[in-house]
Structures are given as structure tokens and as C-alpha cells.
Amino acid sequence: MKILPVTYLSPIFKSHYKDDGILGFDDSISQEKRNLIREHYDSWHTPYMSIYEKGHRMTNYQLNLHISELKKRNVLQKIEGTTIYRGQTLVNKPCYLYDLKKKGIEMVIDLVDYGDSYRNAVKDADLKYYKYNIYEKWWNCYDFSSRKYIKEFVKFLKKMQEGNIYIGCQYGANDTDIALMLNDFFNPLLEDKCPTTITPNDSDFPIKLNSIYDALKKSDKKKLGWTKEFEQRLIKKLISI
């Protein structure tokens, strides 16, 4: 039996939208999934430990996405052909930060924004810290054309170009994939070197990516080292999604 929310607004772009609004199913498999989430948060000591129990109710699609993130969780994974590493935000594993230093990593990019305590832990490990909150810069952003957004976006890509970076979200999975997808689209120095499992086929992905492209000025492109050939390839990517 399906469990539906009281109200549900159908998305405008139904052809690409994956989430059908079903909150879940009352079968044993769904119950096992929810128990796994609860057990995860019982043992995951972060500021967001109890979000599943106290936050908004997940739909079945969101729950399955969350399960896949947990399965892909990793501590450290090098991206082939680069000096970029990806993984979990090490907010509750500060001792691992010293291991990053030993591997030649110079900067940690925090995609979650765990605050001053994590920033200080990174600095204590003699690493640079940079925050780029994907929740604010992608999922909950409503104006990709603003100069404030574009300036911060260009700065993020410039940091990625420096290399010797550890980039991480809460699980080292979905949100890190989003950041690397943005890098793959708009960063000419690392184009096609940061493949992810993300495909921009959700209804709002093409709108967001095209909004970013339209808002980039010549000065922004120059800072990032765009060439005519790179922009032509980018346009083809944007048309194809």
C-alpha cells in the first residue's frame, strides 16, 4: 500500500522529474530501509544527527537516494588524472585530516559548512579551508544569475584549479558529485577529469546550468581560462541535456 502526502503539487517538468511524491511503502523492505537510516543517525555524531527523525519526511525516491549515498560512503578516493581527492567531510574524524596532509593535500573544501569547529580542525592540521555549501549553492539556490552567486562560483572553480584538494560532503557521495559535475561543465582545466554518477536529467538541472552559463561574463571566463574550443564543447553539453 502506498503512503501519499496530504497535498502534492505536480512538477512542471514531469518528463524529467523522478520523485513521484510517494512518502514510502508499509512493507517489510521499506521498514528495513528506514531502520537503516535510523541506525545510521544513531551512530553518526554530527550536528545533523537527528534530521531524519525531526526533519521533513522523505519521499520514497529521497529515501532510496539516501540509501545509495550511505552505501557509497568513503573516506578517501583520488580522482584519476588529478591531484583532487573526494570523500566524507571529516567533521567527526579530525585525526584523518593529518593523513590528508601526508598525501600532499593542501586544501579542504567543505561542501556542508560545519562551522568554526571544523574550520579550526582543518587549520590545526596545517591545511587551508574553503567553504562552498552545496545546499545553498545548488539545491536551495533560486538566483543563479546574481553577481554574488557567480563571483562565489568562479572562486570555487579557481580553488579546484589549484589542485592538491580534498573535497567532501556528509557522505562523500551525492553532493560531492554535484560539485564535481559543476566543475566538469565549467572548469576548462579539469574538464572530463572528474567523472561522476550524476546525470543532469532532473527537471531543474538544465535550467540551473544554463542560467549559470548565461550569467558568466567575459571577465569571469577569462579568469577561468576559457578558450573558444572549450566554450563550443560546453554549449554542446548544455544543448544535449
Percent residues over pLDDT 90 in the chain? 39
Going by pLDDT thresholds of 50, 70 and 90, the confidence category of residue 202 is: low
Q: How far apart are CA 23 and CA 58, in angstroms?
A: 6
With CA atoms as reference, report the closest residue to 81 among 193, 196, 197.
Answer: 193
The answer to whether residues 144 and 215 touch, using CB atoms and an 8 Å cutoff, is yes
At 21 the pLDDT is 60
**CB-CB contact of 65 with 73 (8 Å):** no
List domains and CATH numbers for the chain. 22-71 (no CATH), 77-240 (3.90.190)
- Is pLDDT larger for residue 172 or for residue 37? 172
- Name the residue among 206, 163, 160, 151 with its Cα closest to residue 179: 160
Least Cα distance to 51 among 37, 31, 67, 62 occurs for 37
* Cβ(167)–Cβ(85) below 8 Å: yes
**The predicted structure's pLDDT at residue 138:** 92
Q: With 50 as the cut, is the pLDDT of residue 12 above it?
A: no
Question: Confidence band (pLDDT; 50, 70, 90) for 41?
Answer: low
At residue 209, the pLDDT reads 92
Average pLDDT, the chain: 79
